[in-house]
Chains A and B, each alone.
Chain A
């Protein structure tokens, strides 16, 4: 057993309950350590990108160099040395179109261990009547497999790694990449634009209901490596897609950076339902290690009566900094944000949303449930902005915090900017603890203390959990229970 495996074993003993913390031993190819123009060129060359994309990356890199890290979030962490990390890591494999047979069996086994089947026939042979889910599997910096592509193609749906889409659908990618989250949008978005490695590209043509759930499974495996994925989803007029992403990483005692950008575009009467179950390694119980999850997610409801619904269950990461947002441009468009964020031990989360009402009769709903235990810190930060021409806007916001320990903290920071007097904005916020009577009621019915807390917490989160696609809701509930382990007693 080498020293790395040893330290992983120790880590495992100290945290115990993060079951996705294993590493996969495969040969990987890295870019040289550090970040400079050459690294950007290296990544672009590795992916055989067209000249315009390299230029685009370099422009982002130049912008990033002039920017400073945001400090307004309610999170504390030591300064990140951006030169002390790898910006590209990929399992060694042959170039060219990847069939599943060419994928390293170790990687397939990794996904199996994570409960994700990349073999279509296994998915088909699964539980009778179970819905099909197409998966794009992203391992460190590259997509290793995408399932059900052919079947989706028949429906006209494009579902592939963004690095492939650059070659196969260059016009679409060129037109929309950065159109919703510009390169210089913020520090981490600029960094992502410069070094993004892979991610998922989805295109749903006009009047098409995507025939199955789409999902991307992100796995960070390599040590000391950042993951910078980029996802772009376009829903044409009258189309619908439900997309889910899941994330895990091995246990490492050094923090790792994950800075993703997600862009959604929704045309007239179309809808994107975007769900996230985020379970990056949260660090050990003493706050050592864990993923820094600095993510920019934004959707543009461009068409009339278009809709974006974000649902997130955030249980992992040492630090979470993310605000999935909706720009409600089309008249009558709808934005929704449903969030559960759990912080245990030394985890910190500063998360929320932005609802920008531009069009008339636009509506938004925000339901945020924060759960803190151990020494966790949880901040809801949300903006509701109504522009002058946005008539008859409706917003309803509800932020509930549940504190399980006296040593944890919950904070709610709403920003409300209304420039049109016809708007109706409602904001409700509560902070509570589990009452002794509630706990005893459950105990007296035979639930042990952890089961009782998990049940009460799941009830607290129900309004959000019920938004998740059925097949993921059960998993998310279990995850919630696991994240709270050791929080009572």
Chain B
């Protein structure tokens, strides 16, 4: 079985500073992994490096995605291959409606995979289903991408994009932060909806509370650019109880 993601001894530098210092992680199809760690441990750097953000310089190690060299692909190619990054702070794109953005993105990925455009009726049917699942207002999809959206609305919108794009690997960077309990439940529904035996999920989070709703197979503790401890879901509870200092 080919792993969806196989990271070996990855080292990443940002602005001349080494942030990831030899990170190793393997995600097999069907697995949900959670990475926890305090601020500055390198969680978001890992997410950005995996998605290919310019300025994230890989100085060592390897990362393969479905057997391919992930690091050789450009950001948009990684997306085309089915890698999705859920942003911690989704940006605004004034003047571009969510509908237009999503449809353009979806068709760009389909084009990359050699598929034709999704026709408009199918697209609209899909998006209406997903909007309902996430308890969103469809009218919002006619508004510009994230413009005037609350923090919670932005995160839900990320989930909508994920559900529409149907990625093989979703890396969700603190998708739970800034959500009230109701929004957290809804976002969790979105994440659980994408879970499947042929997909992988990497949840990056500060807190254990998301993991109450999305049960991970593995929990890793990231500290100073390395994974220092790995366990099952009970590790998250342990962290919650004792704090990072005592566990890792």
Contacts and interface: CB of A to CB of B under 8 A. Distances in A.
Interface string A439-482: 01111111111011001101111110000000000000000000
A264 to B, nearest CB: 29
A93 interface: no
B94 interface: yes
A462 B92 CA distance: 15
Contact of B93 (A446, A448, A455, A463): A455
Contact of B87 (A441, A447, A455): A441
Q: Across the A-B interface, give the 7 residue pairs with the lowest CB-CB distance, nearest first.
A: A459-B95, A462-B95, A459-B96, A446-B79, A445-B105, A443-B75, A446-B109
A458 B91 CA distance: 17
Contact of B144 (A436, A442, A445, A459): A459
A443 B73 CA distance: 12
Contacts of A438: 91-93
A437 B96 contact: no
A435 interface: yes
Interface of A: 435-438, 440-449, 451-452, 455-456, 458-463
Q: Point out which of A442, A449, A463 has the most chain B C-beta atoms below 10 A from its C-beta.
A: A442
Contacts, number: 80
B51 interface: yes
Nearest to B87: A441
A455 B101 contact: yes
B126 interface: no
Nearest to B83: A444
A447 B104 contact: yes
Contacts of B108: 445-448, 451
Contacts of A458: 95-96
A123 to B, nearest CB: 24
Nearest to A466: B95
Nearest to A432: B94
A460 B95 contact: yes
Contacts of A451: 104, 108
29 contacts: A437-B91, A438-B91, A438-B93, A441-B87, A444-B52, A444-B53, A444-B75, A444-B85, A444-B87, A445-B101, A445-B161, A446-B76, A446-B80, A446-B165, A447-B76, A447-B105, A448-B74, A448-B76, A452-B76, A455-B93, A456-B93, A456-B96, A459-B95, A459-B96, A460-B94, A461-B95, A462-B94, A462-B95, A462-B96
